[in-house]
Structure 1
Amino acid sequence: MVVALVCSFFVAWLGLPVAYLLLSKKEKVAQPTGPQAANDGFGPNDAPTDATTVAADDSLELEKRSSGPSKKMKGEPAAAEHDTTAGTQHHDIPWVRSVIRHPAYSVVGILLLVGVMWFIIPRLATGFLPDMDEGAIVLDYHSPPGTGLDETDRMLRQAEKLIVKVPEVASYSRRTGTQMGFFITEPNSGDYLIRLKTDRKRSTEEVIADLRQRVESTEPALVVDFGQVIGDMLGDLMSTVQPIEIKVFGPDPTQRYALANQVTEVVTKTAGTADVFNGIVQVGPSVDVRPDPRRLAQFGLTATSFQTQLQTQLGGTVAGNVLSGEQLLNIRLRYPQAAQATLAQMRGEPVFLPNGQRRRLDELADVTVTTSSAELGRENLQAMTAVTARLDGRDLGSAMQEIQQKIGREVALPPGYFIQYGGSYAEQQQSFQELLTILGTACLLVFAVGLFLFRDIKAAGLILLVAILGPAGGSLALYLTNTPLNVGSYTGLIMVVGIIGENAIFTFQQFNDFRAEGGPVEAAIAYSIAARLRPKLMTALSAIVALLPLALGIGAGAQLHQPLAIAVIGGLLLALPLLLVVLPSLLRLAYGRGEAAPVAPVAPEKPELAVSR
């Protein structure tokens, strides 16, 4: 911020005056030569003939000065025309005069800008939020379903040996059975938080690609998912952490899982995707206890009482709480060694009847062990399986476009099954629609303000035309710098429309005021440009210098606003030729037709005086 303020100060007080003098340098007026130059009131030979001639000239000059106001009051235009001509010469800029007299160049420039927007905007890389290099990595992992804690720990220790071999890694921490938000998970899942060194040579994305290759080649049983801290937290607030999410809906789990696997193959084969997951979350083997209603009724035992006793034996029951510091801790009662009980011990656990007698568990229910099964996911009460993936060196828009085309060709959906696209892509589409509405509203407001101020639909149309051409500069800057069109850069394009529209209104106001005083169109154009030249340069150059550190990614958090800064700088660079060249040419085309050329003022003839000797 300090650097930006210092740069803005030097540009505003040193650079702008020099640029203004260079751009507004007037042509030297040629001095007349010959007899007319010599005859300046003192005679043909630059010497007074006598005192009488001098006195006559002085009295004539005095008479001219005294008669000037009276002529202006009578309605003769000599004095006013002289003032207008003098003002025109004062504000006349040679390059402005030459440009506005050839409006074809501006028309070609407008067509070129329209072609640039038509060619570039569909080819821009698109994303949702700006990418940041946070210097930290979140690595989520899952070992195969049913893997014990000891085996999961052994696999992770092998992965840790690979992590410490990466030279950019400064430190790491691991959680197993829980996540970074300290949510309880399965014992075969958890995450790593990896801190990187500040003086590293590779970016975070490059380090992630290296770690992914090392872990997947050494521990193929581990399912890993890489991300960054802020992105992971924002993903928790949204529908999913992963930018790519393809939801498969359907009633039959077997058919739905088969379709999810087909979608997974399509996403895996798409270039620029990584950490692809088919969405089928397998749980480990489980104990299935199914009570026999007839046996329960025979012994007078209700299903609720049976479930309560079984819950107390295996999982425990909360019987109260105790205050520990400022936190209440639950007191859970359960049978001894319940977590380590074998299947035979579980079948022999006693169940108390209402009369005080006991029966074995296997006398009242069937106790079996089921193999791993998949978790059931629902959205809006519909069964759903979500295929997710991350991006690796590719923008979100082009990746999703290719995935949609391939799924449409290769995945045949039976009746009753359909696919929806979620993740960051859905959030991006919704945000872009809202921003497009805001952009259209901004253009309408620019037109409405121009129409309200000048009560001229032609003037409002010219102001709007110049304003909507401004985003072409921002789009070109994004394209040349390979910056995605995301929420930040889209906001910058909207800002450019407002900035150019405001400057165009001020320029037309100067033009309109000069014409209201009776000045010709070309003189009014020259006056409006000369009057607004320095403010335009000051606004554009100061803003560009202030945004330059953000555009270059200098400073902490600069990458978050980098797309916005690049879009605004590109728009401001294009704003100068739009306001100084295109708008004057359009004004001459719109208001200069049918107007007679201004007549140059005729100098009054000098009266001849008779001198008596």
Structure 2
Amino acid sequence: MNKISDVIEQQILAVPEVRKVGRRLGRAERGDHVVPVSTAEFDVDFRELVGHESTVKRGRKEILDDINRRLKTVPGVFAAVSGPLADRIGHMLSGVSAPVAIKVFGPDLDTLRRLGTEVQTVAKTIPGFEDAKLDQQSSIPQLRIEANRDRAIAYGVTPGALNDQLSALLGGKEIAELREGQRAVNLVIRLPLEWRDSPEKIARLPIETESGQRIPLSLVAEVREAKGPNVIFRENSQRRFTIAIKPTVRDVGALVTRLQGEVREKVKLPEGYFITYEGEFQAQKDATERIVLFSAVVFLIIVFLLYGYFQSMALALQVMLSIPLSLIGGLVYTWLKVDNISIATLVGFIAVGGVAARNGIMMLSHYLHLMKHEGEGFTREMVERGTLERMVPVLMTALAAGIALIPLVLAGDQPGKEILHPVAVVIVGGLISSTLLEFLVRPLIFFHLGRKAAAQAIERDAAATQ
């Protein structure tokens, strides 16, 4: 793997914008993100371009496409290029460094690999899913020690005791701890290498019975050379085989739905085997459904709260009407800058809706205040006066939030801004449209449709008129 990594590193360093590359093979078993030594991770440091923007001829997308193109020239490897945050999220969601992970579960490893290969073949026929790879499993030489339970019982050796003795003899056993000042060293006993370097020698190892006698291992177990998988992945106590897919299109959810249908038609699963589809798309789908459900419930509650505040359903609905209208700017700006609706953008839409509703409440309350306490009638002059008097607070709110978010809007290509950038884009675009609509559309709607509702709110002495 080191030699392959050397080739990959040279390919990455050949990109002009790359300054240096660091790498690591595998991750520690005690960590929460464990990967085998057959997996290499590269940290790429790009050259500082601040002050040299005029000489830069390629953007972030072109540079990443160049890296991807160079990595594909290395045979036998699967590469996923992403930022540190996206890679971490991918591992947390599915345990695989890829946006889409298809997992096949079942008892037999050969059958799992066959089914995985069939799923990979189907996936590669779908445009956008051509880059699909299988788990890196291969057969390696193994030494198997299989206990003969009947003979072991006859000699007075239980399988558990046999396993404990072999573990100590071959793998070592800690019996004490030596200390030298602040330094602690574990004292481990283990057979010398020349006693355990062949199946024949291991078969002659003495095994202690319950009566204290010692017998050769060959009397109670079979020692033989065999071949087996280099790694067995398990999840929820079941064996699994994974197909990792790196999509080349944005609409991953639609492609996964298509893949599920074709897999059901073309891949026949034996009894006891099943397939799951996981990854970022599934998390986004689940989160989207939860956000839509909770938003509907919250909007319903807000309508009742607004009715209690205005004592008029018409005025409450006028406030709620501003929310979808204010999202127009966020949608347009998201389409121009991001071209993708994600969980981050949905969070931005919620924030914009809150600002728009607040502005609407403030505007309508001021109209009612002028009519009740300052002797204004329901006239065009009153609407114009109320709008102008609320213009400065509304503009200050929008400008303060918008200016603060400009750095995040401009930092779309910087690593670590994968979530904050879409949120900022939606909020800035939504602030622009909601502010314009607040001064152009709301006064018009209130003047033409709010006369009866305003009189009703004043008559009932609603809290909005105070």
TM bucket normalised to smaller:
0.7 to 0.9
Alignment deviations for residues 49-88 of structure 1 (CA, whole Å, 9 cap, x no partner): xxxxxxxxxxxxxxxxxxxxxxxxxxxxxxxxxxxxxxxx
1:225, 1:275 within 8 Å by CA — same for their partners in 2? no
For 1:338 and 1:270, how far apart are their aligned partners in 2? Answer: 55
Cα drift, residue 567 of structure 1? 0.5
Alignment deviations for residues 483-512 of structure 1 (CA, whole Å, 9 cap, x no partner): 422222111100111111111111111222
Which position in structure 2 is the counterpart of 1:290?
A: 146
Change (3 A) 1:227 1:461: closer
Q: Identity percentage over the alignment?
A: 24
The answer to whether structure 1 residue 197 and structure 2 residue 46 are counterparts is yes
Change (3 A) 1:302 1:476: same
Alignment deviations for residues 306-335 of structure 1 (CA, whole Å, 9 cap, x no partner): 222211222112223345887865433211
1:466, 1:501 within 8 Å by CA — same for their partners in 2? yes
1:347, 1:360 within 8 Å by CA — same for their partners in 2? yes
TM (normalized to structure 2)? 0.80
1:250, 1:256 within 8 Å by CA — same for their partners in 2? yes
SS at the partner of 1:520? coil
Which position in structure 2 is the counterpart of 1:248?
A: 104
Q: What residue identity is the alignment partner of 1:318? A: E
2:141, 2:226 within 8 Å by CA — same for their partners in 1? yes
SS at the partner of 2:281? helix
Change (3 A) 1:426 1:318: farther
The answer to whether structure 1 residue 575 and structure 2 residue 431 are counterparts is no
4+ runs of 1 displaced by more than 6 Å? 180-187, 324-327
Cα drift, residue 187 of structure 1? 7.7
SS at the partner of 1:194? strand
Q: What residue identity is the alignment partner of 1:563? A: P
The answer to whether structure 1 residue 334 and structure 2 residue 190 are counterparts is yes
Cα drift, residue 226 of structure 1? 4.5
Alignment deviations for residues 283-306 of structure 1 (CA, whole Å, 9 cap, x no partner): 622211112234334443333332
2:141, 2:228 within 8 Å by CA — same for their partners in 1? yes
1:474, 1:570 within 8 Å by CA — same for their partners in 2? yes
TM (normalized to structure 1)? 0.63
Q: CA RMSD in A?
A: 3.7
For 2:136 and 2:453, how far apart are their aligned partners in 1? Answer: 76
For 1:245 and 1:594, how far apart are their aligned partners in 2? Answer: 55
2:327, 2:434 within 8 Å by CA — same for their partners in 1? no
For 1:525 and 1:296, how far apart are their aligned partners in 2? Answer: 96
Match of residue 584, structure 1, among 443, 448, 458? 443
Cα drift, residue 527 of structure 1? 2.3
Which position in structure 2 is the counterpart of 1:365?
A: 221
Change (3 A) 1:453 1:221: closer
1:485-500 to 2 correspondences below 5 Å? 485-500=341-356
Match of residue 230, structure 1, among 75, 85, 96? 85
2:319, 2:357 within 8 Å by CA — same for their partners in 1? yes
Cα drift, residue 417 of structure 1? 4.5
1:144-543 to 2 correspondences below 5 Å? 152-176=1-25, 178-179=27-28, 188-199=37-48, 209-218=65-74, 220-222=75-77, 224-241=79-96, 242-250=98-106, 253-273=109-129, 276-279=132-135, 281-282=137-138, 284-322=140-178, 330-337=186-193, 341-353=197-209, 358-373=214-229, 377-380=233-236, 383-392=239-248, 394=250, 396-413=252-269, 417-516=273-372, 517=375, 519-543=377-401
Cα drift, residue 182 of structure 1? 6.7
SS at the partner of 2:73? helix
1:268, 1:276 within 8 Å by CA — same for their partners in 2? yes
Change (3 A) 1:243 1:176: closer
SS at the partner of 2:193? coil
Which position in structure 2 is the counterpart of 1:561?
A: 420
Number of matched residues? 443
Which position in structure 1 is the counterpart of 2:461?
A: none
1:245, 1:388 within 8 Å by CA — same for their partners in 2? yes
1:289, 1:365 within 8 Å by CA — same for their partners in 2? yes
For 1:594 and 1:352, how far apart are their aligned partners in 2? Answer: 94
2:196, 2:202 within 8 Å by CA — same for their partners in 1? no
Q: Structure 1: where are the runs of 5+ without partners?
A: 1-151, 596-613
1:446, 1:501 within 8 Å by CA — same for their partners in 2? no
Cα drift, residue 476 of structure 1? 1.9
Q: Tell which has more relative contact order, 1 or 2 (C-alpha 8 A, sep 6+).
A: 1
Higher mean displacement: 231-240 or 494-503: 231-240
For 1:323 and 1:472, how far apart are their aligned partners in 2? Answer: 70
Q: What residue identity is the alignment partner of 1:232? A: D
For 1:340 and 1:281, how far apart are their aligned partners in 2? Answer: 27
For 1:246 and 1:549, how far apart are their aligned partners in 2? Answer: 38
Higher mean displacement: 503-512 or 246-255: 246-255
Which position in structure 2 is the counterpart of 1:544?
A: 402
Cα drift, residue 457 of structure 1? 0.9
Change (3 A) 1:416 1:266: same
1:257, 1:280 within 8 Å by CA — same for their partners in 2? no
Alignment deviations for residues 193-232 of structure 1 (CA, whole Å, 9 cap, x no partner): 33322336666665555455445534x3445555443333
1:94-173 to 2 correspondences below 5 Å? 152-173=1-22
Higher mean displacement: 180-189 or 383-392: 180-189
Change (3 A) 1:492 1:327: farther
Cα drift, residue 568 of structure 1? 0.9
For 1:250 and 1:197, how far apart are their aligned partners in 2? Answer: 44
Cα drift, residue 444 of structure 1? 3.0
1:178, 1:184 within 8 Å by CA — same for their partners in 2? yes
1:314, 1:335 within 8 Å by CA — same for their partners in 2? yes
SS at the partner of 2:241? strand
Cα drift, residue 422 of structure 1? 1.6
SS at the partner of 2:277? strand
Pick the structure with greater CA Rg: 1
1:473, 1:572 within 8 Å by CA — same for their partners in 2? yes
